[in-house]
Amino acid sequence: MKRDTLLELCEWLAPALRQRDTRMRPAIPLQKRVAIALWKLSTPDSYRSVGNQFGVGRSTVGAVLMQVVKAISRVLLRRVVRLADPDAVIRGFGALGFANCRGAIDGTHIPICAPEHQASQYVNRKGYFSILLQAMCDHWGQFTDINVGWSGKAHDARVYRNSFVCQKLQAGPSSLITTLGSGMWTCPCAWWGCGLPPYSPGS
């Protein structure tokens, strides 16, 4: 990440992450806290390793990570991830050879440790514990909707039917619009034409 990008991110998150010095110790600088969180999120390093990298304790890394992630979710999620102008997106996909396409959608399993309660609900079809992430992007590859938190046992179609983007599109104009996605998406709204086979170059 470029320094200017980090500073801009810190500027956006500053209102949610502002801390004061105490008599016991000075507050960790904002830029350092954001850098700690980004490092932990982008590498497989342990809390201890990240703490050694930045000169803080292991528990501090955990606390900082939660603070920054919550701030990103509260401040940036709807500012950065949002449904774009549909006409512009349809034109963009049209230029790529996909007529009347509103977005590309897919899901992925995020591995988790076995939860203490109802653990069997989090075992996915591949046999490990996970939660589901469903994401849609526009013709630039920029995310326009994210839905995360369903247990790994849930079907992709169920996640979609209960998502914000499905409800939003069902309430919209009834025109023939398609989306690029795997056959796992079977949608109740006929004009939202899911179930297309995955796209591959040259096909």
Residue 138 predicted with pLDDT over 80: yes
* Contact present, 109 and 130 (Cβ < 8 Å): yes
Q: What is the pLDDT of residue 103?
A: 83
Query: What is the residue whose two structure tokens read 């247990």?
Result: 151
Please state, rounded to an integer, the average pLDDT across all residues of the chain: 81
Residue type, 189: C
pLDDT top residue among 170 and 164 = 164
Average pLDDT over residues 164-190: 56
Give the C-alpha separation, 177 to 118, whole Å: 38
CA distance linking residue 121 with residue 115, whole number of Å: 9
Domain boundary assignment for the chain: 3-80, 86-171
Q: What is the mean pLDDT of residues 123-138?
A: 91
* Structure confidence by residue, pLDDT tens digits, 80-111: 887 778 888 888 988 988 888 888 888 889 99
Report whether pLDDT(171) > 80.
no
pLDDT, mean of residues 62-72: 94
Give me the pLDDT at residue 182, please. 55
**CB neighbourhood size of 46 (10 A):** 12
- Which has more confidence, 79 or 187? 79
Is 60 exceeded by the pLDDT of residue 175?
no
- Cβ atoms 38, 1 nearer than 8 A: yes
pLDDT at position 50 = 95
Residue 196 has pLDDT above 50, yes or no: no
Contact criterion met (CB below 8 Å) for 162 and 170: no
Among 12-26, 47-61, 118-132, the range scoring the smallest mean pLDDT is 12-26
